Amino acid sequence: MANSAVKRENLTAENKNVLVEAKRARTNDENEGKDDIVSDTENILSGFKTSSVLNDSAREKIAFIHGKIDDQDAVVILEKTPFREETLTELLSGSTLKLEMRNDIYSSYRLQAPPHLNEIKTTVVFPATEKHIKRHQRQESFLVEETAEDYQSITLPYIQTQSFSLQWVYNILEKKAEADRIVFDDPDPHVGFVLLPDLKWDQKQLDNLYLIAIARQRGIQSLRDLTSEHLPLLQNLFQKGKEAILQRYNLPASQLRVYLHYQPSYYHLHVHFTRLGYEAPGCGVERAHLLSDVVQNLQTDPEFYKTRTLYFPLRADDGLLGKFREAGKIK
């Protein structure tokens, strides 16, 4: 069963059935770290003026739109929510059908669903910076080969010169924000973590389950920082994260994909828990590292990720890709 493809000409932001939630800004602007959640009675998009479609995907039923709100840049992400089994009977019986074609036993229709069954998950980045806009533009990607020496001479200096604020992460860990969304909390300062739904998951069905476990221990920026000293943390997060998901969602570990990204989207240790059958963004082999493999690698070699050559994709406009090009590592 597939949804209708999102067409560019129909990408209007004035949709009374949108679900609006403010996207966490992850740059160093004055709004960094603030969780500006819009109430369901407020329509922040009523004055949205579309400038361009940055990217869209008919397969994933998602569109990224650049525009203005009160003369300030904004990015709106429209995503068709998956079908839910418990609403199928109402969807089929309560919708209006318009015949498009009939041939023998086959017929094609346009189905107009009731508004409450036709929601569009909408994420708003406002005010948006140039980084936010570029991040969602359709661009070519390049696979980077990073040796241990490259990490020390190229990647790490680049990370250190960037202002990646993590205040929004600390707000979650300190329960100053999103406390009501926490699924599990281990308060131990060394091996503890907070488990909560990722913003990409609307929590209405398990088919696209997506949770994030954020480590309480600070100073671990990425996979490169992990050594055998961190095994207790990784094993605790792995085991208790799976147990919490089983208890809350009745989903066994055999149906979970548990992994880390390299490069990560933000430089504080966090682990992704997604349903195995869901092709979550970034779950491909060029970026995702299964947590079970990470644990085994560190058990075999305590310095595994400090010495190994790692591969990861970067978009054409990524500043780090520019540094690798300057060093003659990318053609």
Binding residues for substrate: 168, 178, 198, 200, 261-272
Instruction: Please give the structure tokens belonging to residue 230.
Output: 């961190």
Q: Which residues make up each annotated binding site?
A: 168, 178, 198, 200, 261-272
Closest CA to 238 of 183, 303, 294: 294
CB distance 232 to 302 below 8 Å: no
CA atoms within 13 A on the CB side of 8: 7
> Which H/E stretch holds residue 44?
none
* Residue 270 annotated in active site: yes
Q: What is the dihedral of CA 38, 43, 49, 50, to 10 degrees?
A: 70
In the numeric block, the tokens 């300190």 are attached to 174
Within 8 A by CB and 6+ apart from 276, the residues are 254, 255, 256, 257
**230-247 b/e (C-beta count within 10 Å ≥ 16 → b):** bbebbebbbebbbebbee
Q: Measured between alpha carbons, how far is 156 from 44 in angstroms, rounded to an integer? A: 39
Q: What is the dihedral of CA 231, 232, 235, 239, to 10 degrees?
A: 180
Q: How far apart are CA 264 and CA 262, in angstroms?
A: 5
E strand map for the chain: 18-22, 49-57, 62-69, 72-80, 96-103, 106-112, 120-125, 141-146, 184-186, 193-197, 210-215, 256-261, 270-275, 288-290, 310-315
Q: Which of 66, 230, 270, 289 is catalytic?
A: 270
Residue positions annotated with a catalytic role: 270
